[in-house]
Amino acid sequence: MTEQSPKTAQELFALLDRLGIAHETLQHEPVFTVAESESLRDRIPGGHTKNLFVKDKKDQYFVLTVEENATVDLKTVHKVIDASSRVSFGKPEKMMEYLGVIPGSVTVLGAINDVTNAVTFVLDSDLMKHELINAHPLSNDATTTIGNNDLIRFLEATGHTPLVLKVTE
């Protein structure tokens, strides 16, 4: 099996363009935490995301995409997402292998790099009430805004059927 390089933000934008998905991206200083990204709120409308890369004991991987200030109970979320066991955070190597990103840059848009469909993408139903959703375009020095339904279309175009579930407290 040949390892392919992770897709770039430009390749991500090209896919969104091919799909006819309107998107807008703002470059900014790298942000590693929700607290650091809050300074961008007045410049970027819509729901801002927090993404958790987790796995269960059977090595099933999930990206949980929730509103930035939402709380996810890692002790019980496995019941909601149909994992085989309690979940724990996935290792950085697997994050790079499946999503093409490093810690601090986990994003639902990393689905473009999951060509083997190793990851299940879970969108929190509260987040999806926002018309616009904001996520990192594969690195944490920019934020890309797309419509909530377009996010689902993007995921489906990458071969992923997202689960829209209430995963937050």
Residue ranges of domains in the chain, CATH in brackets: 9-165 (3.90.960.10)
In the chain, pLDDT over 90 holds for what percent of residues?
A: 83
pTM score, two decimals? 0.93
Residue 66's contacts (CB-CB under 8 Å, 6 or more residues apart) are 49, 50, 51, 52, 72, 124, 126, 127, 167, 168
- CA 101 to chain CA centroid, Å, is 11
**CB atoms inside a 10 Å sphere around CB 57:** 12
Q: Cα 122 to the chain's mean position, in Å?
A: 9
What is the per-residue pLDDT across 31-49, written as a single tens digit (0 to 9) for each? 777 777 777 777 788 999 9
- CB neighbour burial string for 112-125, b if at least 16 within 10 angstroms, e if fewer: bbbeeeebbbbbbe
Over residues 53-111, the pLDDT tens digits come to: 999 999 999 999 999 999 999 999 999 999 999 999 999 999 999 999 999 899 999 99
The three-state secondary structure class of 145 is: strand
Q: Which two tokens stand for residue 112?
A: 């473009």
Label residue 85 exposed, middle or buried (CB < 10 Å: 0-12, 13-18, 19+).
Answer: exposed
H-type alpha helices, the chain? 9-18, 34-37, 77-81, 92-99, 148-157
**For residue 1, pLDDT beyond 60:** no
Query: What pLDDT is recorded for position 7?
Result: 95
